[in-house]
A = this chain, B = another copy of it.
């Protein structure tokens, strides 16, 4: 019975995800689902990235959280249309959340919608939000064992962004191991090394976002691991 209910939840989610895709397609808008653990720096990355993408790329943001509108306030402060989605205890965004929120964004004036998922390296990966690509974030402070320990987060991602690279001198983080593990887990993923604090690696990531917004799934960026291994 539990399995049957789970299947029904997922079916309901998938129907809404299809609706999201149809609605976005009707407006020529693309969507990215940004996932990662709590405090891995997703919002800080968007705060630095969105001004680089503008004005060529008109972005809208959906912020997923259990509580507070703190993240939406940070995005609104840089002048980007944003809607806060509160899951009220829920550990991930769902496609129905996104479907309802799209009515609040001026879709005919957007090129790209970025959904920042709830900070959780597990559950969000199980739910299709109608996105065209997933971007998984991992901070160097979280540790190099995370691709092995949380494979779901990384295995379907079109891009993986390593964040907080400025902390590298102060933490024990084996970048070589991470790139090897990501290469095994998801060899097609593009890998980006960034520091929102220092503004490092943002140009390459911005180029990938631009490619994604053009519907180019083979967007600019080194393939998983290879950029570092070669």
Contacts and interface: CB of A to CB of B under 8 A. Distances in A.
Interface of A: 1-2, 5, 8-9, 37-40, 65-68, 70-71, 89, 91, 118-123, 139, 141-143, 145-146, 148-152, 164, 166-167, 170-171
A71 to B, nearest CB: 8
Nearest to A1: B5
Contacts of A145: 68, 70
A213 to B, nearest CB: 28
B39 A143 contact: yes
Contacts of A167: 141, 167, 170-171
Contacts of A5: 1-2, 5
Contacts of A148: 67-68, 70
A91 B119 contact: no
Copies of the polypeptide in the assembly? 2
A145 B139 CA distance: 17
A177 to B, nearest CB: 11
Given A67-B148, A67-B151, A119-B121, 17 more contacts: A2-B8, A37-B119, A39-B40, A39-B146, A66-B149, A66-B152, A67-B149, A68-B148, A70-B145, A70-B148, A89-B122, A91-B91, A91-B123, A120-B123, A141-B167, A166-B170, A167-B167
Given A119-B150, A152-B89, A142 B1 contact: no
Contact of A141 (B118, B139, B152): B139
A141 B37 contact: no
Given A2-B9, A149-B66, A149-B68, A142 B91 contact: no
A186 B38 CA distance: 20
A91 B67 contact: no
A38 B150 contact: yes
Contact of A122 (B120, B150, B166): B120
Nearest to A145: B70
B67 A122 contact: no
Contacts of A40: 39, 142
